[in-house]
């Protein structure tokens, strides 16, 4: 596949490249346990992912029956990251086909970047332990800028970090924020169907939907041919 139409491809992280829900759940439940609260089940935690660590913590406490906000939430958010960062790649793996497909896209000349709502430090730790840091050369996290997705600024920054422009870029993501972000930036978007979306993907009108990451090069070629 040739990189001419989309030399820049920007990926979402959680739910798109990696299934991170189990480690996020472990960290959340350890934090809840420290506060004397009951653990949350995996399917509930999956629906809490997508708006960054602080929102996950806020949703976790609310679901456990003790809503928190302001300074208390900020303190729990800090503690969450202390627990999460060292375990963040323990059971988190790339989805099937991700490594080979990213290698193939890079070998074909695409430049690859990451735009996630996960805090940047945890993101970079995970990228290094998964061996993805050498493939994704521009990384923007949820706290890298004052705004996060669905604001288009982080996506635009990830593209600029590759030395390219929005007209040269395509985004790949799993949820409503990714599609909204790409549309706000005027960037075509491919959605993966296996992630953590909280609304039916068909309602989002992505340019393509794939069930298997290995189908990405074909989907990109289809979008490019329009
Ligand atoms: O909520 C998160 O931390 C994960 O966000 P992402 O799907 O943007 O990678
Ligand atoms: Mg995601």
Sequence ranges of the domains in the chain? 8-19+93-224, 21-87
Percent composition of the chain: helix, strand, coil (DSSP 3-state, to 5): 45, 15, 40
**Which atom, in ligand 1's list, is nearest to the CA of 123?**
9
Grouping H, G, I as helix, E, B as strand and the rest as coil, residue 69 is coil
Q: Residue 170 CA to chain centroid, in angstroms?
A: 15
Known binder of ligand: residue 133? no
What's the whole-number mean pLDDT along residues 156-162?
Answer: 98
Grouping H, G, I as helix, E, B as strand and the rest as coil, residue 187 is coil
Has residue 92 got a pLDDT over 60? yes
What's the whole-number mean pLDDT along residues 140-157?
Answer: 98
Please tell me the distance between residue 31's alpha carbon and the centre of ligand 2 in angstroms. 22
Is 105 within 8 Å of 31 (Cβ atoms)?
no
Q: What is the distance between the alpha carbons of residues 147 and 192, in angstroms, rounded to a whole number? A: 24
Same fold, 8-19+93-224 and 21-87: no
- 98 Cβ inside 6 Å of ligand 1: no
Please tell me the distance between residue 16's alpha carbon and the centre of ligand 2 in angstroms. 6
Confidence category of residue 195, pLDDT binned at 50, 70, 90: very high
- 14 Cβ inside 6 Å of ligand 1: yes
Pick the CATH number of 8-19+93-224 from 3.30.70.520, 3.10.50.40, 3.10.20.340, 3.40.50.1000: 3.40.50.1000
- Helical segments of 47-119, H only: 53-63, 70-87, 98-107
- Find the ligand nearest to 53 CA: 1
Give the domain 21-87 fold: DNA polymerase; domain 1 (1.10.150)
What's the whole-number mean pLDDT along residues 208-215?
Answer: 98
pLDDT score at 2: 58
Q: What is the distance between the alpha carbons of residues 206 and 173, in angstroms, rounded to a whole number? A: 10
Has residue 3 got a pLDDT over 90? no
């Amino acid at each position: 596949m040739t990189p001419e139409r989309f030399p820049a491809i920007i990926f979402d992280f959680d739910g798109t490249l990696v299934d991170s829900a189990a480690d996020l759940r472990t960290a959340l439940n350890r934090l809840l346990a420290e506060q004397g609260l009951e653990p949350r089940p995996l399917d509930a935690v999956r629906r809490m992912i997508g708006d960054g660590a602080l929102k996950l913590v806020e949703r976790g406490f609310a679901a456990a029956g003790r809503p928190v906000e302001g300074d208390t939430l900020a303190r729990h958010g800090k503690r969450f990251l202390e627990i999460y960062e060292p375990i963040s790649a323990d059971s988190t793996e790339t989805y099937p086909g991700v490594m080979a497909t990213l290698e193939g896209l890079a070998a074909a000349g695409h430049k690859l970047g990451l735009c996630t709502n996960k805090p940047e430090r945890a993101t970079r730790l995970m990228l290094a332990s998964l061996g993805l840091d050498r493939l994704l050369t521009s990384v923007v996290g949820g706290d890298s800028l004052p705004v996060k997705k669905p604001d288009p600024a982080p996506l635009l920054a990830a593209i600029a970090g590759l030395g390219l422009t929005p007209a040269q870029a395509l985004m790949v993501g799993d949820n409503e924020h990714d599609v909204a972000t790409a549309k706000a930036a005027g960037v075509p978007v491919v959605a993966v169907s296996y992630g953590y979306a909280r609304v039916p993907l068909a309602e989002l009108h992505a340019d393509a939907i794939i069930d298997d990451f290995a189908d990405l090069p074909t989907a990109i070629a289809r979008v490019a041919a329009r």
